[in-house]
Structures are given as C-alpha cells and as structure tokens.
Amino acid sequence: MGRLDGKVIILTAAAQGIGQAAALAFVREGAKVIATDINVSKLQELEKYPGIQTRVLDVTKKKQIDQFANEVERLDVLFNVAGFVHHETVLDCEKKDWDFSMNLNVHSTYLMIKAFLPKMLAQKSGNIITMSSVVSSIKGVVNRCVYSTTKAAVIGLTKSVAADFIQQGIRCNCVCPGTVDTPSLQERIQARGNPEEAQNDFLKRQKMGRFATAEEIAMLCVYVVSDESAYVTGNPVIIDGGWSL
C-alpha cells in the first residue's frame, strides 16, 4: 500500500526539477497525478509512468486555468510549483522583470487556488501546497530582490488560505527549499560569465557543502500531501540544509 493511494494530485510546472521529482514520488506512493507544464515535449516524457496524466497549462493564463478546472471532477491536492528566479538588486530590477516574476510566482498561485478551492470546499476536504523558498521573508539573500518579494508573498497567501478555510477541511502549506540542483539552477550557473566560479559561489553558501536534490524536496512533499501531515497547516515547511540557520 502506498501512502497516497487513491489521491488525485494536480501539479503545475511538473516537466522538470522539483515538480517532476514530486510527480514521480507521488505516483510511486499510489497517487493519480495530473502533471501540467508549458513544456510540451518534456511533459510527454512523463506519460510513460503509469498513474501520470499530462496536460499543457500556462499558469499565467486565467482562461486556460479556468478551462482546466472545469475539466477536473475532483482533486485531493493542488501543488503550485511554477516559479522563476530573477537575479538582481532593487536598483537593477526593471519593471518588466518585476511584473514577470510577480505574475508567474504569485498571481498564478492566486489564480490556481481561486479556480480549484471551490471544488475542495464542495468536497469538504482539500490540501493546497504552494512553492516558496527560504529566499523570502525567511532569509535575506543578495541579488534576489523580486524573487524574495514574490516568495514572501506566497507565504502570506498560504497563511491566509490556511486561516480562512481551516474549518472547512482545507489545509494549505508552502514548501521552502534552499538551493536545489535542478535544470534552471544549472542554466543560471551556465549563464554567468564564469560558470565554474558561479558554481563555487553557489556552493560556498551551502552549509552542508552541497545542493539539495530535487528528490529530497519531493520526499518532504510526499509528507506534506499525505494524511500523515493532517495536523500541519499554514506552515512554511523549510528544507534548506541549514542555510537559514
């Protein structure tokens, strides 16, 4: 028996990184996963796993989200993974960068919750997970102005949903990782003038001397989406190798 037997779990940004690792961990535990993303080819690779159904979804598009919500009969868990890491201080963060990150990291989470929460309320049960970071209201990090702002907002949104709907059987928690070795982290390292130096800079801030793996984050997510965490709500659940100590 799996810990998530029979649970219907919807994930955004599931084609790679933490979202993909979580989707795979959830089906291993018996869940039925609807994995969504905008990356059609990478998403299709997930279809070979029994228990995973895929659907193309751009979380910045309200129409697409509402259409998707209309197609879903019931769900136990909504996991909003989509997000983007912009590197700059407030002085260098242009309005277009600010708007892009606020839209993808915060507004999309608001749209997804607004579309799917009514179904959970009708069922009198539901579990919403959002994706924050320790780079948020938890820890100040250089060159992450709009990213930190968005991830702090996600914590606020999480607590607000948890507080408003606790008596209707709804839980809402956010996962707050440190630095995770995912394709986008590698892209950010490669994009720097000297990738080797960039990799070392990233590693220098890791108190354990290494990055987290996406699988380590996924295993925490299994706990948060399972009934074993039934008493946990409104929490920023930190997994950062001691970075925020």
Tokens for 26, please give them.
């959830």
Structural element, H or E, at residue 97:
helix 95-101
80 neighbors 59 (Cβ within 8 angstroms)? yes
Least Cβ distance, residue 178 to ligand NAD (angstroms): 7
Least Cβ distance, residue 151 to ligand NAD (angstroms): 7
Q: Which of 180, 220, 224, 225 is close enough to bind ligand NAD by CB under 6 A? A: 180
Residue 133, interface with ligand NAD (CB under 6 A)?
A: yes
- Cα distance between residue 136 and residue 227, in whole Å: 27
**Conformational region of residue 183, where left means phi above 0, alpha means psi within -120 to 50, and beta covers everything else:** alpha
Please say which residue, 57 or 120, places its beta carbon nearer to ligand NAD: 57
Tokens for 71, please give them.
């197609």
Please say which residue, 133 or 149, places its beta carbon nearer to ligand NAD: 133
Please say which residue, 99 or 227, places its beta carbon nearer to ligand NAD: 99
Query: What amino acid is encoded at 209 in this protein?
Result: G
Nearest C-alpha neighbor of 150 from the set 74, 203, 98: 98
Q: Which of 8, 38, 72, 239 is close enough to bind ligand NAD by CB under 6 A? A: 38
CA-CA-CA-CA torsion sign (131, 134, 138, 140): negative
Please say which residue, 60 or 168, places its beta carbon nearer to ligand NAD: 60
Catalytically active residues are 147
Binding to ligand NAD (CB under 6 A): which residues in 66-95? 81-83, 85
| Residues forming the site for ligand NAD (CB under 6 A) | 12-13, 15-19, 37-39, 57-60, 81-83, 85, 104, 131, 133, 177, 179-180, 182-185, 214
